[in-house]
Structure 1
Amino acid sequence: MSGDERFGHGLVLGKFYPPHAGHHHLVRTAQDRCERLTVLVCAASVESVPLADRVAWMREAHPGVDVVGAVDDIPVDLHDPAVWEAHMAIFRSAVGRPVDAVFTSEAYGAELARRFGAREVCVDPDRTLFPVSGTAVRADPVACWEFLGPAVRAALTRRVVVLGAESTGTTTLSRDLAAHYRARGGVWAGTGWVAEYGREYSEEKLAAARAADPAASWSDVTFASREFPVIARRQDEAEERAARLGSPVLFCDTDSFATGIWHERYMGGRNAEVEKTAALTRRDLYLLTDDADVPFEDDGLRDGPQLRPWMTGRFREELTATGRPFLTLRGDRATRLATAVTAVDALLAEGRRFADPLPENR
C-alpha cells in the first residue's frame, strides 16, 4: 500500500487510558490521510478515568476529528469469534457509518480492519517514535511526563495549596517550595507556583480608590459579595493554566476554597457561588501557615494582627469539616519549608493509582 494513499473515512480506536504522545501521533497520521476521521474512545466501567474525560481530552488535542465514546465492558479475547462480534457491535454502533481504513499500532489491527471491511494502516507498531504506552503511563506517570499533553498533565498534577491568615508567609512558602522542586532538575524543572489573584484584585481596588482620592487607604476600600465569585474563578483559572504547563507538582498561594473563608471574613457569611466553584477542582494537600512565629508586617493591604488567630482557626475548622487533607506549619521559614517538603515528598511517593483495565487474552 502506498504511504500516501488517501481514504474517505478513517478510524482510530483505543482506550486512551490515558492518551499520550503515541496516541496523538497515530491520530495525526490518520487525519493527514483521511477526508474524515473518527476516533473511538472505549472505556470499561472498572477503569478509574471516566470516559467523558478521555473524550474531552482527545477532542481538545484533535479539534478537526470526530471523537466519540463508548462503554465496552467485554473482556478482550482475540481467539474467540463470539467475543469479537460482541465488541464489534459496540464499535459499529458508536461509529455509525462504514469505515474505509483502520489506523492502528496494535497486533489486532488486521483483524479489526477485516471485520470493518476496511484497509489496515499500521503506524509505528514498534513505538520507535514515541516509546510510551498506556500501561507505562499508568504504572509511572512521572516517568512518562514528557509524553503527556496539557489536559492530561492538569488531571494528574499534584496540587498543593498554601493558605493562611494575613502576613503568615503563604507567598514566601509557595515560592520557596516551587524553587526547591525546580532545583531538582529533570521533569521537576518546570515546577510552578500560582500567585494569589485576590491580592492583585485588592491592589487594583486600592489604586482605583486613590485615583478618586489620593489620600485613600486600605481602610477606605470596601468589597461586595458579588466580587468574591469572580476572585474564586480567576484564581482557579490561573491554577488550571499552570497545571497544564508544569511539572507533576504545582504550588498554589491560596485557592477558591480559601476565597470562601475570606468572603466570610469581609462579608460576615458564606457565599454559595464561591462554594460551588471550590467544589469543582481537586487539591491533594493543603498547607496551613499558622500565625504563630511569623511577625505581622503591614504592607498597606492588611487589616492588622488581631484577626490572624481567628482566620487561622477558621481555616483549620473548615479544612477539617470538609475532609480536606492538610498540615499546619509552624516555626521559622526554614523549618516550615523542611516540614512542607517532607509532606509533599510523601504525597508524590504515593503515585497515581489507576484501576486495572479488563483482562485481555491475546
Structure 2
Amino acid sequence: MKDAGYSTPTSLRRYITMATRCGVNCNPALLAAGITPQRLAGKDPVPITNAAMEHFLERIIPVTREPCFGLKTAQLIQPDTFDILGYIALNCASMREALALFPLYEGAAGDIGYTTVERRGELTLVRWNCGARSPLVRRHMVENVLASWTLYTNRIIGVDAKPLRVWFSHPAPGDVGLLRHYHDIFRCEVLFGQPCDGSWIDDSHLDTPFPQANRALLATLLEHAARRLEAVDRDASISHRVKNMIRLMLAESLPSRERVAAQLGMSSRTLQRHLSGQGQNYNTLLRDVRRELAIHYLEHSSLSLDEISRRLGFSETRSFHRSFKQWTGTTATAFRKDLPRQP
C-alpha cells in the first residue's frame, strides 16, 4: 500500500457529494477508476489508492462544469473530514499543539499530500505539498485542503483564526468574478502564482485555547493514529516499521528492542537480523526517532524542555540536554533561541 499511496474514502465521498450536487452521475467515473460501491460502504471501508482517486477526479471535475469544484467541496466540512487527524486537532489544547502533531501523524489519514510547518518571524507558514500528478486535480485538491483547514478551524473546532494570507502556486482563475468565492472562505488576501501552497498564520493565534480540548481523548487518538501508521506501513521496510513502533511506544516509556520486536510479532534476534540485512541497528533507529521528534517539538511547539524530555523517554532532563548536544552540536536551549526569524 505504501508504494501505491492511499486516500481515505471520507475525502472521496465529499467529492462525490459535490459532483452529485452539480448534477453528475459519478458511477461511470467510479467504475472506470476501479472503485466499487462496496469499497466506500461499511464501518471500515477499504482505502482508495491515490491513483484511483486521481483517475476519478480527472474524469469527474470537467463534467461538473464547476470552476471552483475543490474550493466549494470544502463547504461540505464535517467533523470526520480529516479522518482521525480532525479528531486529534479537535482535542488539542491549541493550534500550536495541533500543528506540532499534524505532520507526525497525517500519514494515518492518507499520503496524497503532506504538511510542513515553517516559522517565519512572527508568522507561521503551514504548507500543503500535494502529490497529485495531474495539474487539474492538483489545483482542486490544494484549494480543497487549504479551504477545509480554515473552515474546520472555524466551524468544527470553534476558533475564529483566519489566516493573514493564503498562497496558491497555480494561476488565478480566468474569470476574476470567481475570486469572491476565495475571499468568502478565507476572508484575507489570496495570492496566486506563489512559490508554494499554504496559509500564513499570525503567531498570536497559535495559543488561542481550543474549546473542546480533551487530554485523555487526545492520548487515545494519538495511540490509535500511531497504530494505524504501523498497519499502513506493513509493506514498508522493517526499519520504517520499527521507527513507527518506537514513536508509538515512546508515549508510554522508552521502548526496548525486545518490546518492539514483540509488538512486530518476532523475536529480538529475528528483528536484529532483519535490521542488519538493511545495514541498520535498533539503537541507531531509536536515536534517529528521538532526534527527529526533539527537533520537531523545538521548532513547532511551545512545550517546555522538561516536557519534551519526558515525551522522548528520558528519565532526566539533563540526559536529554546531553543527548541533544551530541546529536546536533548545540544545546536545545540555543537551538530554539536561534531558530530563523525571517526567510
Instruction: Tell me the TM-score range normalised by the shorter chain.
Output: under 0.3
> What TM-score do you get using the length of structure 2 for normalisation?
0.27
Q: Relative contact order (alpha carbons < 8 A, sep ≥ 6): 1 or 2 greater?
A: 1
Taking structure 1 as the reference length, what is the TM-score of the superposition?
Answer: 0.26
Kindly indicate which of the two structures has a greater share of residues assigned to helix.
2
